Structure 1
Protein backbone atom coordinates (compact mmCIF):
# COMPACT_ATOMS: atom_id res chain seq x y z
CA UNK A 1 0.00 0.00 0.00
CA UNK A 2 1.37 3.37 -1.00
CA UNK A 3 1.16 6.41 1.26
CA UNK A 4 -0.90 9.27 -0.13
CA UNK A 5 1.50 11.65 1.61
CA UNK A 6 4.61 12.74 -0.22
CA UNK A 7 7.78 13.19 1.72
CA UNK A 8 8.41 16.89 2.13
CA UNK A 9 11.44 17.93 0.13
CA UNK A 10 13.94 20.20 1.78
CA UNK A 11 14.13 23.64 0.22
CA UNK A 12 17.43 25.29 -0.49
CA UNK A 13 18.31 28.95 -0.08
CA UNK A 14 19.66 30.72 -3.16
CA UNK A 15 21.22 34.13 -2.60
CA UNK A 16 23.16 34.14 -5.86
CA UNK A 17 21.09 37.00 -7.26
CA UNK A 18 22.57 39.37 -4.69
CA UNK A 19 26.03 38.92 -6.17
CA UNK A 20 27.87 40.98 -3.55
CA UNK A 21 27.36 40.84 0.20
CA UNK A 22 28.31 44.36 1.23
CA UNK A 23 27.83 44.10 5.02
CA UNK A 24 29.51 41.43 7.15
CA UNK A 25 31.97 40.93 9.97
CA UNK A 26 34.27 38.27 8.56
CA UNK A 27 37.71 39.67 9.43
CA UNK A 28 39.32 37.73 12.28
CA UNK A 29 39.64 39.13 15.76
CA UNK A 30 38.95 42.86 15.36
CA UNK A 31 35.30 43.29 16.38
CA UNK A 32 32.33 41.20 17.53
CA UNK A 33 32.42 39.08 14.37
CA UNK A 34 34.73 36.21 13.49
CA UNK A 35 37.25 35.54 16.30
CA UNK A 36 39.88 33.76 14.16
CA UNK A 37 40.87 32.81 10.62
CA UNK A 38 39.40 29.31 10.90
CA UNK A 39 35.97 30.72 11.73
CA UNK A 40 36.31 33.29 8.95
CA UNK A 41 37.00 30.51 6.46
CA UNK A 42 33.96 28.55 7.65
CA UNK A 43 31.70 31.59 7.35
CA UNK A 44 32.98 32.57 3.91
CA UNK A 45 32.58 29.01 2.59
CA UNK A 46 29.06 28.89 4.05
CA UNK A 47 28.06 32.10 2.28
CA UNK A 48 29.57 30.86 -0.97
CA UNK A 49 27.46 27.72 -0.66
CA UNK A 50 24.39 30.00 -0.53
CA UNK A 51 25.44 31.62 -3.79
CA UNK A 52 27.28 34.78 -2.68
CA UNK A 53 30.05 35.53 -5.18
CA UNK A 54 31.75 38.68 -3.84
CA UNK A 55 32.40 40.00 -0.36
CA UNK A 56 32.85 43.48 1.08
CA UNK A 57 33.32 42.95 4.79
CA UNK A 58 32.60 45.86 7.11
CA UNK A 59 34.28 45.73 10.53
CA UNK A 60 32.94 48.09 13.16
CA UNK A 61 34.64 51.40 13.77
CA UNK A 62 33.00 52.36 17.07
CA UNK A 63 35.51 54.19 19.23
CA UNK A 64 34.08 53.18 22.61
CA UNK A 65 34.34 49.47 21.73
CA UNK A 66 36.26 48.82 18.51
CA UNK A 67 39.05 51.29 17.86
CA UNK A 68 39.69 50.04 14.35
CA UNK A 69 41.88 51.95 11.95
CA UNK A 70 43.09 51.35 8.42
CA UNK A 71 46.09 49.58 9.93
CA UNK A 72 44.05 47.14 12.05
CA UNK A 73 41.58 46.44 9.25
CA UNK A 74 44.22 45.93 6.57
CA UNK A 75 46.25 43.81 8.98
CA UNK A 76 43.29 41.51 9.66
CA UNK A 77 42.58 41.28 5.93
CA UNK A 78 46.17 40.29 5.22
CA UNK A 79 46.05 37.71 8.01
CA UNK A 80 42.95 36.20 6.45
CA UNK A 81 44.52 36.14 2.98
CA UNK A 82 47.62 34.44 4.32
CA UNK A 83 45.44 31.77 5.92
CA UNK A 84 44.21 31.08 2.37
CA UNK A 85 47.84 30.79 1.17
CA UNK A 86 47.82 34.38 0.09
CA UNK A 87 44.55 34.42 -1.82
CA UNK A 88 40.82 34.12 -1.30
CA UNK A 89 38.64 32.04 -3.60
CA UNK A 90 36.25 34.95 -4.26
CA UNK A 91 36.70 38.71 -4.72
CA UNK A 92 37.07 40.04 -1.20
CA UNK A 93 37.80 43.49 0.20
CA UNK A 94 37.29 45.45 3.41
CA UNK A 95 35.32 48.63 3.93
CA UNK A 96 33.92 49.54 7.38
CA UNK A 97 30.74 50.12 9.35
CA UNK A 98 31.09 53.51 10.99
CA UNK A 99 29.25 54.34 14.20
CA UNK A 100 28.07 57.94 14.15
CA UNK A 101 30.00 59.11 17.20
CA UNK A 102 32.46 61.91 18.01
CA UNK A 103 35.31 59.94 16.46
CA UNK A 104 33.44 59.80 13.17
CA UNK A 105 32.91 63.57 13.37
CA UNK A 106 36.66 63.97 13.89
CA UNK A 107 37.44 61.85 10.82
CA UNK A 108 35.25 64.13 8.72
CA UNK A 109 36.68 67.32 10.21
CA UNK A 110 40.23 66.13 9.54
CA UNK A 111 39.37 65.03 6.00
CA UNK A 112 40.53 61.50 6.74
CA UNK A 113 39.52 59.24 3.83
CA UNK A 114 36.72 56.87 4.81
CA UNK A 115 36.58 53.24 3.74
CA UNK A 116 33.88 52.93 1.12
CA UNK A 117 31.60 50.17 -0.10
CA UNK A 118 31.80 51.40 -3.67
CA UNK A 119 32.76 54.76 -5.08
CA UNK A 120 31.72 57.20 -2.32
CA UNK A 121 29.25 54.93 -0.46
CA UNK A 122 29.91 54.81 3.29
CA UNK A 123 28.09 52.40 5.62
CA UNK A 124 26.98 54.01 8.90
CA UNK A 125 25.01 53.00 11.97
CA UNK A 126 23.92 54.54 15.26
CA UNK A 127 22.54 53.50 18.63
CA UNK A 128 19.84 50.82 18.91
CA UNK A 129 18.56 52.72 21.97
CA UNK A 130 18.19 56.27 20.70
CA UNK A 131 19.27 58.16 17.57
CA UNK A 132 21.86 60.93 17.69
CA UNK A 133 20.16 64.25 18.34
CA UNK A 134 22.19 65.66 15.45
CA UNK A 135 21.58 62.76 13.04
CA UNK A 136 20.56 64.95 10.12
CA UNK A 137 23.56 67.20 10.68
CA UNK A 138 25.90 64.19 10.64
CA UNK A 139 24.37 62.95 7.40
CA UNK A 140 24.70 66.41 5.86
CA UNK A 141 28.33 66.65 7.01
CA UNK A 142 29.06 63.37 5.17
CA UNK A 143 27.44 64.68 2.03
CA UNK A 144 29.36 67.95 2.20
CA UNK A 145 32.55 65.86 2.19
CA UNK A 146 31.35 64.05 -0.91
CA UNK A 147 30.12 60.79 0.62
CA UNK A 148 26.92 58.89 -0.05
CA UNK A 149 25.45 57.75 3.32
CA UNK A 150 24.33 54.11 3.41
CA UNK A 151 22.30 53.47 6.54
CA UNK A 152 22.94 49.99 7.95
CA UNK A 153 19.93 47.93 9.07
CA UNK A 154 17.42 50.81 9.50
CA UNK A 155 14.80 48.20 10.38
CA UNK A 156 16.63 47.29 13.59
CA UNK A 157 16.05 50.70 15.21
CA UNK A 158 12.87 49.53 16.89
CA UNK A 159 12.11 52.97 18.38
CA UNK A 160 11.38 54.18 14.85
CA UNK A 161 8.22 52.05 14.90
CA UNK A 162 6.52 55.01 16.58
CA UNK A 163 8.23 57.56 14.32
CA UNK A 164 8.24 56.14 10.81
CA UNK A 165 8.39 59.62 9.32
CA UNK A 166 12.10 59.52 10.21
CA UNK A 167 12.55 57.04 7.36
CA UNK A 168 10.91 59.49 4.97
CA UNK A 169 13.16 62.27 6.21
CA UNK A 170 16.32 60.17 5.84
CA UNK A 171 15.28 59.10 2.36
CA UNK A 172 14.52 62.71 1.42
CA UNK A 173 17.97 63.61 2.77
CA UNK A 174 19.53 61.20 0.27
CA UNK A 175 20.35 58.11 2.35
CA UNK A 176 20.51 54.64 0.85
CA UNK A 177 18.99 51.93 3.06
CA UNK A 178 20.62 48.52 3.62
CA UNK A 179 18.36 45.90 5.19
CA UNK A 180 19.69 42.74 6.84
CA UNK A 181 18.60 39.50 5.20
CA UNK A 182 17.86 38.05 8.63
CA UNK A 183 15.38 40.85 9.26
CA UNK A 184 13.24 39.25 6.55
CA UNK A 185 12.95 36.29 8.94
CA UNK A 186 11.87 36.31 12.62
CA UNK A 187 15.52 36.14 13.75
CA UNK A 188 15.77 39.64 15.27
CA UNK A 189 12.20 39.64 16.56
CA UNK A 190 8.82 40.94 15.51
CA UNK A 191 9.67 44.66 15.42
CA UNK A 192 12.63 44.28 13.05
CA UNK A 193 10.67 41.95 10.77
CA UNK A 194 7.69 44.31 10.61
CA UNK A 195 9.89 47.34 9.92
CA UNK A 196 11.80 45.46 7.21
CA UNK A 197 8.52 44.63 5.49
CA UNK A 198 7.36 48.23 5.92
CA UNK A 199 10.51 49.46 4.17
CA UNK A 200 10.00 46.94 1.39
CA UNK A 201 6.45 48.16 0.83
CA UNK A 202 7.69 51.77 0.77
CA UNK A 203 10.27 50.80 -1.89
CA UNK A 204 12.97 52.12 0.41
CA UNK A 205 15.32 49.10 0.35
CA UNK A 206 18.39 49.70 -1.83
CA UNK A 207 20.79 47.07 -0.55
CA UNK A 208 20.76 43.73 1.27
CA UNK A 209 23.50 42.46 3.55
CA UNK A 210 24.04 39.38 5.66
CA UNK A 211 25.56 41.38 8.56
CA UNK A 212 27.11 37.98 9.32
CA UNK A 213 28.90 37.75 12.66
CA UNK A 214 28.92 34.06 13.58
CA UNK A 215 27.70 30.58 12.74
CA UNK A 216 24.26 31.14 14.29
CA UNK A 217 23.62 33.76 11.63
CA UNK A 218 24.84 31.38 8.94
CA UNK A 219 22.66 28.55 10.27
CA UNK A 220 19.56 30.76 10.18
CA UNK A 221 20.29 31.90 6.62
CA UNK A 222 20.68 28.27 5.52
CA UNK A 223 17.33 27.37 7.06
CA UNK A 224 15.26 30.29 5.75
CA UNK A 225 14.11 29.23 2.27
CA UNK A 226 11.66 32.14 2.10
CA UNK A 227 14.67 34.42 1.58
CA UNK A 228 15.00 33.16 -1.98
CA UNK A 229 11.62 34.63 -2.91
CA UNK A 230 12.27 37.86 -1.01
CA UNK A 231 15.53 38.42 -2.87
CA UNK A 232 13.91 37.59 -6.21
CA UNK A 233 11.13 40.11 -5.62
CA UNK A 234 13.65 42.85 -4.92
CA UNK A 235 15.72 41.90 -7.94
CA UNK A 236 12.63 41.92 -10.15
CA UNK A 237 11.79 45.41 -8.89
CA UNK A 238 15.07 46.72 -10.30
CA UNK A 239 15.80 48.65 -7.11
CA UNK A 240 18.39 46.34 -5.56
CA UNK A 241 21.90 47.73 -6.03
CA UNK A 242 23.97 44.77 -4.82
CA UNK A 243 24.44 43.27 -8.32
CA UNK A 244 25.95 46.57 -9.49
CA UNK A 245 28.79 46.31 -6.95
CA UNK A 246 31.81 44.91 -8.77
CA UNK A 247 35.52 45.02 -7.98
Structure 2
Protein backbone atom coordinates (compact mmCIF):
# COMPACT_ATOMS: atom_id res chain seq x y z
CA UNK A 1 0.00 0.00 0.00
CA UNK A 2 1.24 3.48 -0.82
CA UNK A 3 1.99 5.70 2.12
CA UNK A 4 1.46 9.48 2.02
CA UNK A 5 4.79 9.79 3.82
CA UNK A 6 6.77 8.17 1.01
CA UNK A 7 8.96 10.47 -1.02
CA UNK A 8 9.02 8.08 -3.96
CA UNK A 9 6.29 5.87 -5.38
CA UNK A 10 6.60 2.87 -7.67
CA UNK A 11 4.72 3.18 -10.96
CA UNK A 12 3.80 -0.51 -10.72
CA UNK A 13 1.81 0.18 -7.55
CA UNK A 14 -0.60 2.33 -9.60
CA UNK A 15 -1.49 -0.34 -12.16
CA UNK A 16 -4.02 -2.55 -10.39
CA UNK A 17 -7.04 -3.09 -12.64
CA UNK A 18 -5.20 -1.60 -15.62
CA UNK A 19 -5.50 -3.01 -19.16
CA UNK A 20 -2.19 -2.94 -21.01
CA UNK A 21 -3.08 -2.22 -24.64
CA UNK A 22 0.34 -1.65 -26.17
CA UNK A 23 2.65 -4.63 -25.89
CA UNK A 24 4.30 -7.29 -27.99
CA UNK A 25 3.13 -10.41 -26.19
CA UNK A 26 2.13 -12.49 -29.21
CA UNK A 27 4.86 -14.97 -30.12
CA UNK A 28 6.83 -15.12 -33.33
CA UNK A 29 5.17 -12.43 -35.44
CA UNK A 30 7.24 -9.32 -34.67
CA UNK A 31 10.22 -8.29 -32.52
CA UNK A 32 8.49 -9.15 -29.25
CA UNK A 33 7.95 -12.53 -27.59
CA UNK A 34 9.64 -15.36 -29.44
CA UNK A 35 7.69 -18.27 -27.96
CA UNK A 36 4.47 -18.93 -26.06
CA UNK A 37 6.65 -19.57 -23.02
CA UNK A 38 8.03 -16.03 -23.35
CA UNK A 39 4.49 -14.66 -23.65
CA UNK A 40 3.29 -16.43 -20.51
CA UNK A 41 6.36 -15.44 -18.50
CA UNK A 42 5.74 -11.79 -19.40
CA UNK A 43 2.07 -12.07 -18.51
CA UNK A 44 2.98 -13.56 -15.14
CA UNK A 45 5.33 -10.63 -14.53
CA UNK A 46 2.51 -8.23 -15.40
CA UNK A 47 0.37 -10.10 -12.86
CA UNK A 48 2.84 -9.12 -10.13
CA UNK A 49 1.88 -5.51 -10.87
CA UNK A 50 -1.84 -6.24 -10.74
CA UNK A 51 -2.28 -6.26 -14.53
CA UNK A 52 -4.37 -9.18 -15.81
CA UNK A 53 -6.07 -7.76 -18.91
CA UNK A 54 -4.25 -7.28 -22.20
CA UNK A 55 -4.69 -6.12 -25.76
CA UNK A 56 -1.71 -7.48 -27.67
CA UNK A 57 -0.55 -5.07 -30.38
CA UNK A 58 2.05 -6.60 -32.71
CA UNK A 59 3.78 -4.36 -35.21
CA UNK A 60 2.10 -3.98 -38.58
CA UNK A 61 4.33 -2.32 -41.16
CA UNK A 62 4.78 -2.81 -44.87
CA UNK A 63 8.56 -3.17 -44.91
CA UNK A 64 9.06 -5.60 -42.04
CA UNK A 65 5.92 -7.04 -40.44
CA UNK A 66 3.04 -7.44 -42.88
CA UNK A 67 0.74 -8.75 -40.20
CA UNK A 68 -2.96 -9.18 -40.84
CA UNK A 69 -5.78 -10.85 -38.89
CA UNK A 70 -4.66 -14.07 -40.60
CA UNK A 71 -1.26 -13.95 -38.86
CA UNK A 72 -2.31 -12.25 -35.62
CA UNK A 73 -5.25 -14.44 -34.58
CA UNK A 74 -3.38 -17.78 -34.72
CA UNK A 75 -0.65 -16.32 -32.47
CA UNK A 76 -3.35 -15.03 -30.13
CA UNK A 77 -4.95 -18.47 -29.91
CA UNK A 78 -1.62 -20.04 -28.93
CA UNK A 79 -1.37 -17.64 -25.99
CA UNK A 80 -5.00 -18.10 -25.01
CA UNK A 81 -4.53 -21.86 -24.72
CA UNK A 82 -1.72 -21.35 -22.18
CA UNK A 83 -3.13 -18.24 -20.47
CA UNK A 84 -3.00 -18.37 -16.66
CA UNK A 85 -6.35 -18.38 -14.93
CA UNK A 86 -7.72 -14.92 -14.17
CA UNK A 87 -6.14 -13.28 -17.23
CA UNK A 88 -7.76 -12.12 -20.46
CA UNK A 89 -6.20 -11.17 -23.78
CA UNK A 90 -7.37 -10.01 -27.18
CA UNK A 91 -5.52 -8.67 -30.20
CA UNK A 92 -5.13 -5.41 -32.07
CA UNK A 93 -2.15 -4.01 -33.95
CA UNK A 94 0.40 -1.22 -33.73
CA UNK A 95 0.16 0.21 -37.23
CA UNK A 96 2.99 2.06 -38.89
CA UNK A 97 1.46 4.99 -40.74
CA UNK A 98 2.52 3.86 -44.21
CA UNK A 99 0.96 2.72 -47.46
CA UNK A 100 0.39 -0.76 -46.02
CA UNK A 101 -1.90 0.75 -43.39
CA UNK A 102 -3.90 2.47 -46.12
CA UNK A 103 -4.25 -0.89 -47.88
CA UNK A 104 -5.42 -2.58 -44.69
CA UNK A 105 -7.95 0.19 -44.07
CA UNK A 106 -9.32 -0.21 -47.58
CA UNK A 107 -9.60 -3.99 -47.06
CA UNK A 108 -11.24 -3.47 -43.64
CA UNK A 109 -8.49 -5.57 -42.02
CA UNK A 110 -7.34 -3.13 -39.36
CA UNK A 111 -7.64 -4.47 -35.80
CA UNK A 112 -8.49 -1.61 -33.41
CA UNK A 113 -7.66 -1.44 -29.73
CA UNK A 114 -11.33 -0.78 -29.00
CA UNK A 115 -14.24 -0.39 -31.40
CA UNK A 116 -13.22 3.16 -32.30
CA UNK A 117 -9.52 3.56 -31.39
CA UNK A 118 -6.57 2.35 -33.44
CA UNK A 119 -2.94 2.36 -32.27
CA UNK A 120 -0.51 3.93 -34.76
CA UNK A 121 3.14 4.86 -34.90
CA UNK A 122 5.56 6.56 -37.25
CA UNK A 123 9.23 6.27 -38.13
CA UNK A 124 11.69 7.59 -35.55
CA UNK A 125 13.45 9.51 -38.33
CA UNK A 126 10.63 11.59 -39.79
CA UNK A 127 6.88 11.89 -40.01
CA UNK A 128 5.30 10.33 -43.11
CA UNK A 129 5.12 12.71 -46.05
CA UNK A 130 1.46 11.83 -46.52
CA UNK A 131 0.58 12.12 -42.82
CA UNK A 132 -2.49 14.27 -43.49
CA UNK A 133 -3.85 11.74 -45.98
CA UNK A 134 -3.28 8.81 -43.62
CA UNK A 135 -4.98 10.54 -40.69
CA UNK A 136 -7.91 11.43 -42.94
CA UNK A 137 -8.29 7.81 -44.09
CA UNK A 138 -8.14 6.54 -40.50
CA UNK A 139 -10.83 8.94 -39.37
CA UNK A 140 -12.88 8.30 -42.50
CA UNK A 141 -12.92 4.65 -41.38
CA UNK A 142 -14.66 5.74 -38.16
CA UNK A 143 -11.49 5.23 -36.15
CA UNK A 144 -9.63 7.62 -33.88
CA UNK A 145 -5.82 7.34 -33.92
CA UNK A 146 -3.84 6.87 -30.74
CA UNK A 147 -0.25 7.82 -31.53
CA UNK A 148 2.11 5.48 -29.70
CA UNK A 149 5.04 6.95 -27.74
CA UNK A 150 4.99 10.56 -29.06
CA UNK A 151 7.86 11.32 -26.70
CA UNK A 152 10.16 9.13 -28.81
CA UNK A 153 9.88 11.18 -32.02
CA UNK A 154 12.86 13.49 -31.60
CA UNK A 155 11.93 15.47 -34.72
CA UNK A 156 8.83 16.65 -32.79
CA UNK A 157 10.80 17.89 -29.79
CA UNK A 158 10.53 21.63 -29.45
CA UNK A 159 10.12 24.08 -26.61
CA UNK A 160 6.47 25.02 -27.07
CA UNK A 161 4.84 21.70 -28.10
CA UNK A 162 3.71 23.24 -31.41
CA UNK A 163 4.14 20.06 -33.46
CA UNK A 164 2.35 18.00 -30.83
CA UNK A 165 -0.47 20.53 -30.68
CA UNK A 166 -0.83 20.31 -34.45
CA UNK A 167 -1.27 16.53 -34.20
CA UNK A 168 -3.83 17.00 -31.46
CA UNK A 169 -5.76 19.37 -33.70
CA UNK A 170 -5.70 16.70 -36.40
CA UNK A 171 -7.50 14.31 -34.06
CA UNK A 172 -4.65 12.27 -32.55
CA UNK A 173 -4.62 11.09 -28.95
CA UNK A 174 -1.25 10.33 -27.38
CA UNK A 175 -0.07 7.18 -25.59
CA UNK A 176 2.99 7.43 -23.33
CA UNK A 177 5.35 4.48 -22.92
CA UNK A 178 5.92 3.50 -19.30
CA UNK A 179 9.59 2.88 -20.06
CA UNK A 180 9.94 6.51 -21.14
CA UNK A 181 9.58 7.47 -17.47
CA UNK A 182 12.98 5.84 -16.98
CA UNK A 183 16.23 6.42 -18.83
CA UNK A 184 15.64 3.30 -20.97
CA UNK A 185 15.41 5.24 -24.26
CA UNK A 186 17.81 7.98 -23.17
CA UNK A 187 17.66 11.10 -21.04
CA UNK A 188 16.19 13.36 -23.75
CA UNK A 189 13.24 11.00 -24.25
CA UNK A 190 12.74 10.79 -20.49
CA UNK A 191 12.69 14.59 -20.16
CA UNK A 192 10.19 14.94 -23.01
CA UNK A 193 7.97 12.25 -21.49
CA UNK A 194 7.73 14.13 -18.21
CA UNK A 195 7.21 17.45 -20.00
CA UNK A 196 4.37 16.04 -22.07
CA UNK A 197 2.37 14.42 -19.28
CA UNK A 198 3.03 17.22 -16.77
CA UNK A 199 1.66 19.68 -19.35
CA UNK A 200 -1.50 17.69 -20.02
CA UNK A 201 -0.54 16.46 -23.48
CA UNK A 202 -0.80 12.71 -22.79
CA UNK A 203 -4.10 10.84 -22.98
CA UNK A 204 -3.13 7.23 -22.27
CA UNK A 205 -0.26 5.15 -20.96
CA UNK A 206 0.84 1.59 -21.74
CA UNK A 207 3.93 -0.58 -21.48
CA UNK A 208 5.16 -1.25 -25.04
CA UNK A 209 6.85 -4.25 -23.45
CA UNK A 210 8.71 -6.49 -25.89
CA UNK A 211 10.55 -8.73 -23.45
CA UNK A 212 10.96 -9.57 -19.77
CA UNK A 213 13.76 -7.02 -19.35
CA UNK A 214 11.28 -4.24 -20.14
CA UNK A 215 8.85 -5.41 -17.48
CA UNK A 216 11.60 -5.67 -14.89
CA UNK A 217 12.58 -2.06 -15.63
CA UNK A 218 8.96 -0.93 -15.39
CA UNK A 219 8.84 -2.50 -11.93
CA UNK A 220 11.72 -0.28 -10.84
CA UNK A 221 10.33 3.06 -12.06
CA UNK A 222 9.90 5.52 -9.19
CA UNK A 223 7.93 8.77 -9.20
CA UNK A 224 7.55 11.65 -6.80
CA UNK A 225 4.22 12.75 -5.39
CA UNK A 226 3.75 15.54 -7.96
CA UNK A 227 4.43 13.15 -10.83
CA UNK A 228 2.00 10.61 -9.40
CA UNK A 229 -0.70 13.28 -9.19
CA UNK A 230 -0.17 14.17 -12.85
CA UNK A 231 -0.05 10.53 -13.95
CA UNK A 232 -3.05 9.15 -12.06
CA UNK A 233 -5.67 10.79 -14.35
CA UNK A 234 -3.89 9.32 -17.39
CA UNK A 235 -3.96 5.86 -15.83
CA UNK A 236 -7.65 6.25 -14.99
CA UNK A 237 -8.44 7.39 -18.54
CA UNK A 238 -6.53 4.38 -19.86
CA UNK A 239 -8.61 2.09 -17.64
CA UNK A 240 -11.81 3.78 -18.82
CA UNK A 241 -11.10 2.71 -22.43
CA UNK A 242 -12.09 -0.83 -21.41
CA UNK A 243 -14.96 -0.22 -19.01
Question: Does the alignment reach a TM-score above 0.5?
Answer: yes
Give the Cα–Cα distance (whole angstroms) in 1 for the partners of residues 225 and 97 of structure 2.
32
Q: 1:134 aligns with which of 113, 130, 133?
A: 130
What is the aligned partner in structure 1 of residue 102 from structure 2? 105
Question: 3-state DSSP class of the match of 1:150?
Answer: strand
Shift of 1:226: 2.5
What is the aligned partner in structure 2 of residue 192 from structure 1? 189
| Greater C-alpha radius of gyration | 1
My pick for the range that moved more, 163-172 or 219-228, is 219-228
Instruction: Mark the CA change 1:241 to 1:181 in structure 2 (over 3 Å): closer, same or farther.
Output: same
TM-align CA RMSD: 2.3
What is the aligned partner in structure 2 of residue 4 from structure 1? none
Q: 1:182 aligns with which of 179, 182, 190?
A: 179
- Equivalent runs, 1:145-224 vs 2, <5 Å: 145-162=141-158, 164-224=161-221
Give the Cα–Cα distance (whole angstroms) in 2 for the partners of residues 136 and 154 of structure 1.
17
Q: Deviations over 1:49-98 (max 9, x none)?
A: 012131111001112111111011000011112234xx753121111000
Give the Cα–Cα distance (whole angstroms) in 2 for the partners of residues 129 and 238 of structure 1.
27
Shift of 1:151: 0.3
Give the Cα–Cα distance (whole angstroms) in 1 for the partners of residues 85 and 98 of structure 2.
33
Contact 2:9 / 2:223 at 8 angstroms: preserved in 1?
A: no
What is the aligned partner in structure 2 of residue 40 from structure 1? 39
Q: Deviations over 1:152-211 (max 9, x none)?
A: 000000121148311000111111100001111111111211211121132111110100
Instruction: Mark the CA change 1:157 to 1:165 in structure 2 (over 3 Å): closer, same or farther.
Output: same
2:105 aligned with 1:82, yes or no? no
Contact 2:19 / 2:239 at 8 angstroms: preserved in 1?
A: yes
What is the aligned partner in structure 2 of residue 24 from structure 1? 23
Question: 3-state DSSP class of the match of 1:241?
Answer: helix
Contact 1:17 / 1:232 at 8 angstroms: preserved in 2?
A: no
Instruction: Mark the CA change 1:175 to 1:27 in structure 2 (over 3 Å): closer, same or farther.
Output: same
Contact 1:22 / 1:209 at 8 angstroms: preserved in 2?
A: yes
Give the number of equivalent residue pairs.
Answer: 234
Instruction: Mark the CA change 1:98 to 1:238 in structure 2 (over 3 Å): closer, same or farther.
Output: closer
Question: 3-state DSSP class of the match of 1:81?
Answer: helix
Shift of 1:229: 7.2
What is the aligned partner in structure 2 of residue 72 from structure 1? 71
Question: 3-state DSSP class of the match of 2:13?
Answer: coil
Contact 1:180 / 1:211 at 8 angstroms: preserved in 2?
A: yes
In structure 2, stretches of 5+ residues that fail to align are 1-7
Give the Cα–Cα distance (whole angstroms) in 2 for the partners of residues 192 and 35 of structure 1.
27
Contact 2:33 / 2:210 at 8 angstroms: preserved in 1?
A: yes
Give the Cα–Cα distance (whole angstroms) in 2 for the partners of residues 81 and 19 of structure 1.
19
Instruction: Mark the CA change 1:238 to 1:166 in structure 2 (over 3 Å): closer, same or farther.
Output: closer
Question: 3-state DSSP class of the match of 1:220?
Answer: helix
